């Protein structure tokens, strides 16, 4: 990556990004390449922490990583999602397919399994040294204020940062979204706005990582299906991950904080469920690397206001079963940064106005809204297909969607076509385009 992108940075335009996770770090690369000045404020004490679970990058995300010049680094840490199996709780296998390889055949890239922390690491490490200084940890944003000319972020330590816009890449419990809502209701108490906790959860999930079992094939993904609960297992180069899902007694918007005791008791209910032909949950679960949360679902209506705009889980929350959350967030960042690049290409005579940035935000929303709704529906469908809430869902999973012809048609004529439409940065050429084999 060239170190001169910010030498001709757009004068008078600066972005404050709240959140230094994968979406925020992708934004760092995209803004840097656009020649747009920025700062990233991350609440955690360190930018890089070995926490979280796996992510499966779609072909669109892999192509974006390639466009950033990081494909070789991704190959070091990731592996192709090459095989998928489905099991009953008694160990019977009712699906075994390599159909996902159609992505490689048609697009030249595959679904890629990677540890979330490793993805963050390469995104951060490959920033130029001068740009890393713009990614600042231990900055808990407490207040966001906007005027006609600028926006100010005030952190818990009293430090302040002034910019043109704020991008909220701070996840499902977004402080940016909360501040945006409060500002809107202060200005107009009768305004129609999303609830303070906008996402309703019907399921909860436990996840943990562990050294890849010798018996587990690299690039394998499985699910084990049951009434109102399910498991998922992914096998990477060196690590494995499990996800244990269960339907809540009733839907809730409340954020539950689960203790280690809660996690261990919950996991014990899944101990005898198989994750492969020779591995059960009890064989791989470890509380040391485990986390647990309710799985909110939904798409909010109010995604921007004035100089505030949201991306990723701050806007849309999906269950992990279909693997769309981070990938959708990356597409959000690309769509938004494309619009910001267009905006700063026409220098403003004075400070960029709210009307100017709002026009860019609206174009971003237009590029992404239909995908948010479609991806929510897809995630809802897949999570219920695995954790059967009804006989119909069970029959669909067991006897319709496990058929190879159904899988092929869905992948070839729906998933591949969608992947071809994935957004890339308009302003950063790919030196060595990826071609289908």
Confidence at residue 432, expressed as pLDDT on a 0 to 100 scale: 54
Rounded to the nearest angstrom, the gap between the alpha carbon of residue 89 and the centroid of all alpha carbons in its chain is 29
Q: How far apart are CA 215 and CA 212, in angstroms?
A: 8
Nearest Cα neighbor of 396 from 169, 104, 94 is 94
User: Encoding tokens for residue 41?
Assistant: 């404020």
Confidence at residue 135, expressed as pLDDT on a 0 to 100 scale: 98
What is the end-to-end Cα distance of the chain in Å, rounded?
27
Strand partners, 114: 55
Q: What is the mean pLDDT of the chain?
A: 94
Averaged over 85-103, what is the pLDDT? 96
pLDDT confidence bin for 8, thresholds 50/70/90: very low
Q: How far apart are CA 309 and CA 362, in angstroms?
A: 10
Please state whether beta strands 304-305 and 308-310 pair in parallel, antiparallel, or not at all (unpaired).
antiparallel
What pTM was estimated for this model as a whole?
0.94
pLDDT confidence bin for 160, thresholds 50/70/90: very high
Confidence at residue 346, expressed as pLDDT on a 0 to 100 scale: 86
Summarize pLDDT for 121-145 with one digit per residue, the tens: 999 999 999 999 999 999 999 999 9
Domain segments of the chain as ranges: 14-87+110-193+298-383
Confidence at residue 435, expressed as pLDDT on a 0 to 100 scale: 58
Fold of the CATH domain 14-87+110-193+298-383: FAD/NAD(P)-binding domain (3.50.50)
Averaged over 158-183, what is the pLDDT? 97
User: Encoding tokens for residue 326?
Assistant: 């981070």
What residues have CB less than 8 Å from 264, skipping those under 6 apart? 287
């Amino acid at each position: 990556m060239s170190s001169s992108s910010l030498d001709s940075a757009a004068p008078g335009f600066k972005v404050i990004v709240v959140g230094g996770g994968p979406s925020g770090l992708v934004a760092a690369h995209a803004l840097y390449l656009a020649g747009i000045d920025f700062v990233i404020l991350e609440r955690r004490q360190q930018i890089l922490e070995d926490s979280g679970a796996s992510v499966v990058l779609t072909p669109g995300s892999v192509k974006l990583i390639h466009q950033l010049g990081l494909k070789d680094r991704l190959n070091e840490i990731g592996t192709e999602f090459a095989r998928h199996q489905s099991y009953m709780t008694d160990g019977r296998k009712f699906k075994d397919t390599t159909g996902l390889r159609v992505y490689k055949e048609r697009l030249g890239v595959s679904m890629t399994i990677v540890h979330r922390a490793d993805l963050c690491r390469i995104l951060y490490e490959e920033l130029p040294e001068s740009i890393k200084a713009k990614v600042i940890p231990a900055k808990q944003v407490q207040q966001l204020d906007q005027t006609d000319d600028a926006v100010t972020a005030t952190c818990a330590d009293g430090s302040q940062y002034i910019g043109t816009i704020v991008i909220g890449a701070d996840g499902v419990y977004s402080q940016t979204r909360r501040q945006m809502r409060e500002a809107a209701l202060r200005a107009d108490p009768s305004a129609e706005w999303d609830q303070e906790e906008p996402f309703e959860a019907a399921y909860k999930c436990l996840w943990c990582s562990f050294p890849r079992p010798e018996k587990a094939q690299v690039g394998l993904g499985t699910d084990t299906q049951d009434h109102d609960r399910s498991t998922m297992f992914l096998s990477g180069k060196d690590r494995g991950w499990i996800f244990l899902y269960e339907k809540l007694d009733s839907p809730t918007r409340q954020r539950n904080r689960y203790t280690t005791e809660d996690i261990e008791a919950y996991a014990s209910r899944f101990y005898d469920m198989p994750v492969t032909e020779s591995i059960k949950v009890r064989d791989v679960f470890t509380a040391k690397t485990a986390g647990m949360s309710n799985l909110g679902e939904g798409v909010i209506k109010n995604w921007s206001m004035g100089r505030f705009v949201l991306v990723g889980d701050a806007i849309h929350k999906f269950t992990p079963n279909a693997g769309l959350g981070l990938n959708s967030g990356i597409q959000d960042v690309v769509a938004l940064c494309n619009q910001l690049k267009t905006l700063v290409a026409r220098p403003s005579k004075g400070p960029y106005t709210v009307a100017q940035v709002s026009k860019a935000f609206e174009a971003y929303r237009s590029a992404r809204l239909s995908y948010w709704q479609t991806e929510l529906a897809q995630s809802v469908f897949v999570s219920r297909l695995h954790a059967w809430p009804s006989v119909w869902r069970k029959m669909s999973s067991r006897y319709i969607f496990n058929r190879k012809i159904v899988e092929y048609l869905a992948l070839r004529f729906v998933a591949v076509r969608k992947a071809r439409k994935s957004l890339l940065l308009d302003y950063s050429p790919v030196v060595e385009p990826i071609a289908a084999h």
